[in-house]
Amino acid sequence: MIKISDVYFKYNEDEDEKYALRGINLDIKDGEFVAIIGHNGSGKSTLAKLLNGLYLPTKGDIFIKDMNTKDEDKIWDIRKAAGMVFQNPDNQIVTTIVEEEIAFGPENIGLPREEIRQRIDYALKVVEMEKYLHHAPHLLSGGQKQRIAIAGILAMNPSCIILDEPTAMLDPTGRKEVIDTIYKLNAVEKKTILLITHNMEETVKADRVVVMNKGQVYLEGTPREIFSKVEELKAIGLDVPAVTELAYKLNADGYLDDFKVLNIEELVDKLC
């Protein structure tokens, strides 16, 4: 689905400008759920914008379904294949009625009215927002707005959805709504998901976690493999999921034989 080949990026051509990304190599398979974590300034959001063609690599290449993001003739096909959901839904919602918002993308690529209607109904059903069809987006909660933003992307029928810290501005209820929707997109709708987040709990169901540090890939592996490296993560300013942190401390005090747990149920089993 996505191939990132020896990518370097800096924001201007000044020789003294430091690279925001350095030597990134990453392959993401069709249907995979990959989470990217890292502290502020690690390069994870910059990488997201490169994947959608908003930025172009200074060196190296990025391919989305074998299409190079540097190929100007392919950029709209790339953006159809890889939809982007940003941190603040207010920056992405452009209409005053939910139905019109979901129709905006399909209308702009010239789809027939019947297909647009089908895509609106499908997208709202997936994000469980059907009853808000005629509501004004600005009157919805933060979590609901973000689900509408996701539905707008989903109506374009992308193969991959890139989400750049989609829960950063939400309260716990809104965060759960959005994360449950993301899990559903991957597990039920079979969409390739690239989730960029600073919330470690959101990554535990991912197939793979990529840790960014100083513009490079620092660690890569399954959630269990990554969060077993507690000291390495803390050394670069990252935390682990709260339940893993608790298990780590219990292990250090001799109450557990190991601390490789990702959810409360696993911790309870180990304690029992």
Region of poorest pLDDT, from 157-166, 188-197, 255-264 = 255-264
pLDDT reading at 80 higher than 90:
no
Q: For residue 13, is pLDDT > 80?
A: no
Closest Cα to residue 215, out of 18, 6, 21, 17? 21
Banded model confidence at residue 15, pLDDT cuts 50, 70, 90: confident
Q: Which of 26, 28, 19, 23 is nearest to 6 (CA)?
A: 23
For residue 23, pLDDT beyond 90: yes
Burial class (CB in 10 A: 0-12, 13-18, 19+), 183: middle
pLDDT of residue 59: 94
pLDDT at 246 over 80: yes
Q: What is d(CA 151, CA 125) in angstroms, rounded to the nearest whole number?
A: 9
Please, is 132 exposed, middle or buried when counting C-beta atoms within 10 Å of its C-beta (0-12, 13-18, 19+)? buried
pLDDT digits (tens, 9 = 90+) for 226-242: 999 999 999 998 988 88
Nearest CA to 89 out of 156, 45, 140 is that of: 140
User: How far is it between the farthest Cα atoms of the chain?
Assistant: 65
Q: What is the pLDDT of residues 194-218, one digit of tens each?
A: 999 988 889 999 999 999 999 999 9
Confidence of residue 160 (pLDDT cuts 50, 70, 90): very high
pTM of the model: 0.88
The confidence band for 17, taking pLDDT boundaries of 50, 70 and 90, is confident
Antiparallel, parallel or unpaired: β 2-9 and 208-213: unpaired
What is the per-residue pLDDT for 132?
92
- Residue 135's alpha-carbon distances to 100, 138, 141, in angstroms, are 10, 9, 12
Mean pLDDT across the chain, nearest whole number?
Answer: 91
Angle at 231 between CA 27 and CA 208, to 5 degrees: 20
Distance CA 106, CA 6 (A): 34
- The pLDDT, as a whole number, for residue 123 is 92
Confidence band for 171, pLDDT divided at 50, 70 and 90: confident
Residues 173-189: tens digit of each pLDDT: 888 988 999 999 999 99
